Structure 1
Amino acid sequence: KSVTRGSVQAIVLASLMRILLFMAALGVVMNGGLLNPGNPAASVFRIAAGEFGYMVFGIVLWSAAITSVVGSAYTSVSFLRTFHPWFEKNQRWLITVFILVSTTIFTFVGKPVKTLIVVGALNGFILPIALALMLFSARKALTSDYRHPQWLTVSGWFVVVIMAALSLKVMLTDLPKLWS
Structure 2
Amino acid sequence: MSEQSPTDAQTTAQTEAQLAAVKKRVGRSAVIGAIFLMATSAIGPGFITQTATFTASMGAAFAFAILVSVLIDIAVQLNVWRMITSSGKRAGELANSAIPFSGHVIAVLVVIGGLAFNIGNIAGGGLGLNALLGIDPKIGGLLTGALAIVIFLIKKAGKVMDIVLVILGIGMIVMTVVVAIIAQPPIGDALRQTFVPDELNFATITTIVGGTVGGYITYSGAHRYLDSGHTGPEYAGPVMRAAANGILITGIMRYVLFLAILGVVASGVVLDLSSQAANPAGQAFGSVLGDAGLRIFGAIFWAAALSSVIGAAYTSATFLSSFHKRFLGGWSLQIATVAFIVVSLIVYLSIGTAPAAILVFVGGFNGLILPIGLTVFMYIGWFRRDLLGTKKYPLVLLIAGTLVTLLTWYMGIVSVGPIFAFLGTGA
Range into which the TM-score falls when normalised by the shorter chain: 0.7 to 0.9
Mapped partners of 1:25, 1:160: distance in 2: 27
Match of 1:41 among 276, 281, 284: 281
1:91 counterpart = 2:333? yes
Mapped partners of 1:3, 1:136: distance in 2: 21
Aligned to 1:125, the other structure's residue is in SS state helix
Aligned residues, how many?
174
Identity %: 32
Specify the code of the residue in structure 2 equivalent to 1:66. L
Give the 5 Å matches for 1:118-129.
118-129=361-372
Change (3 A) 1:157 1:21: closer
Mapped partners of 2:362, 2:253: distance in 1: 21
Unaligned runs of 5+ residues in structure 1 are: none
Mapped partners of 1:54, 1:10: distance in 2: 28
Match of 1:28 among 251, 264, 267: 264
Mapped partners of 1:67, 1:155: distance in 2: 31
Cα distance, 1:35 vs. partner? 1.6
Cα distance, 1:108 vs. partner? 3.9
Mapped partners of 1:156, 1:20: distance in 2: 25
Aligned to 2:268, the other structure's residue is in SS state coil
Specify the code of the residue in structure 2 equivalent to 1:125. L
CA contact (8 A) 2:272 2:279 kept: yes
Aligned to 1:90, the other structure's residue is in SS state helix
Aligned to 2:323, the other structure's residue is in SS state coil
Change (3 A) 1:51 1:105: farther
Stretch deviating more after TM superposition (57-66 or 110-119): 110-119
**What residue in structure 1 maps to residue 355 of structure 2?**
112
**What residue in structure 1 maps to residue 241 of structure 2?**
5
Mapped partners of 1:177, 1:118: distance in 2: 11
Unaligned runs of 5+ residues in structure 2 are: 1-236
Change (3 A) 1:132 1:29: same
Give the 5 Å matches for 1:1-180.
1-37=237-273, 38-88=278-328, 90-109=332-351, 111-134=354-377, 159=407, 161-178=409-426
Question: Alignment RMSD, CA only?
Answer: 3.2
**If the length of structure 2 is used for normalisation, what is the TM-score?**
0.36
**If the length of structure 1 is used for normalisation, what is the TM-score?**
0.76
